[in-house]
């Protein structure tokens, strides 16, 4: 009985410590920049602020709005900035090119309360198309963006003219899976744990560590310049960027598609599809692309040699040539 009482006291002390200690340490002060002041350095040329689906974000356009639409969806940690060098060349081939910052990413507004699941991201992207009066579009998704465009296919197949998967991380449904929060997500719902996580994130984030992480996605290391790192890191200059990151982690367990991509494509009439991969992708390896290709055997399959996870940054002319040739077949 004494041991049980001692254990109970120790457990109580531990719980009290977990609940109070994070509040004895200040969250390191972060930047509080106005997104409008970062458009020139942290977004694609001509980017502007837009509000859609209740969230302020960023949109960039190139080309004639009367041309068929090509919507570019970025990956995890990306933004319109990543597409800055490819928008005009793609528009020159006769496309109205649109790039957006998904909620929680880039220069979009940041908060904890937003739904950051890929279904919600797809809903936001469709809301942007609504504002632009775009009924149908070719959807191009990079990495995480590949799953977002797959959700767009699931939610509004009639609005999808074609799909391009670029080193895509597609979350296929799992048998017996559920949409319950992950363990990490459940923990982050506890305010002291969430505060502690913010302290850790803000204390460890530096331009140098971010640059190292970003560089690990590139096979062409020369493409990772200080200017490029600063452009991708612009998000960290906004208020509550770390809370948005934690919200994205919290909602990650709900990103699996409602049906297999093969089934979603078939139900949509098998829209033309491109699967393009960097042969030396260390983040989403080529074998993942081969699995995707097996699911969509009619898709155009392109592998870029000597290129890593971010082909539109590493080999711009090669990327434009490959994607442009495929787009030409759709006109």
Q: CA-based angle 192:195:196, to the nearest 5?
A: 85
Domain 48-328 fold is: Rossmann fold (3.40.50)
CA–CA dist 63, 135 (Å, integer): 17
Domain ranges, ordered by start, for the chain: 48-328
Each of the 331 residues of the chain gets a pLDDT tens digit; together they read 555 555 444 443 333 444 444 544 444 566 799 999 999 999 999 999 999 999 999 999 999 999 999 999 999 999 999 999 999 999 999 999 999 999 999 999 999 999 999 999 999 999 999 999 999 999 999 999 999 999 999 999 999 999 999 999 999 998 655 556 788 889 999 999 999 999 999 999 998 999 999 999 999 999 999 999 999 999 999 999 999 999 999 999 999 999 999 999 999 999 999 999 999 999 999 999 999 999 999 999 999 999 999 999 999 999 999 999 999 999 8
Virtual torsion, Cα 242, 213, 164, 85, nearest 10 deg: 90
Helix (H, G, I), strand (E, B) or coil at 60: strand
CA–CA dist 119, 258 (Å, integer): 10
Tell me the DSSP string of 47-116: -EEEEETTEEEEEEEES-TTSPEEEEE--TT--GGGGTTTHHHHHTTT-EEEEEPPTTSTTS---SSS--
Report pTM.
0.92
């Amino acid at each position: 009985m004494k041991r049980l009482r001692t254990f109970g006291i120790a457990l109580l002390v531990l719980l009290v410590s977990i609940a109070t200690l994070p509040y004895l340490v200040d969250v390191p002060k972060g930047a509080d920049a106005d997104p409008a002041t970062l458009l020139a350095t942290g977004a694609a040329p001509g980017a502007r602020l837009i509000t859609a689906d209740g969230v302020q974000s960023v949109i960039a356009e190139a080309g004639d709005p009367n041309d068929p639409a090509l919507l570019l969806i970025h990956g995890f940690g990306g933004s319109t900035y990543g597409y800055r060098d490819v928008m005009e060349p793609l528009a020159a081939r006769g496309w109205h090119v649109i790039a957006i910052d998904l909620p929680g990413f880039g220069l979009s507004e940041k908060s904890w309360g937003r739904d950051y699941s890929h279904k919600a991201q797809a809903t936001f992207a469709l809301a942007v198309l609504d504002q632009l009066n775009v009924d149908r579009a070719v959807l191009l998704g990079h990495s995480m963006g590949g799953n977002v465009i797959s959700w767009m296919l699931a939610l509004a197949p009639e609005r999808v003219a074609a799909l391009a998967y670029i080193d895509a991380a597609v979350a296929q449904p799992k048998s017996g899976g559920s949409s319950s929060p992950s363990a990490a997500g459940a923990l982050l719902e506890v305010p002291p744990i969430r505060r502690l996580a913010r302290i850790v994130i803000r204390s460890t984030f530096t331009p140098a560590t971010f640059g190292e992480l970003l560089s690990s996605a590139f096979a062409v290391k020369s493409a990772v310049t200080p200017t490029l790192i600063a452009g991708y890191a612009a998000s960290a200059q906004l208020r509550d960027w770390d809370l948005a990151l934690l919200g994205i982690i919290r909602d990650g367990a709900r990103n699996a598609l409602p049906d297999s991509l093969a089934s979603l494509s078939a139900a949509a009439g098998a829209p033309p599809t491109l699967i393009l991969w960097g042969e030396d992708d260390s983040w989403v390896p080529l074998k993942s692309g081969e699995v995707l290709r097996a699911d969509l055997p009619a898709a155009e399959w392109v592998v870029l040699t000597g290129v890593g996870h971010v082909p539109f940054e590493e080999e711009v002319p090669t990327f434009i040539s490959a994607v442009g040739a495929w787009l030409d077949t759709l006109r």
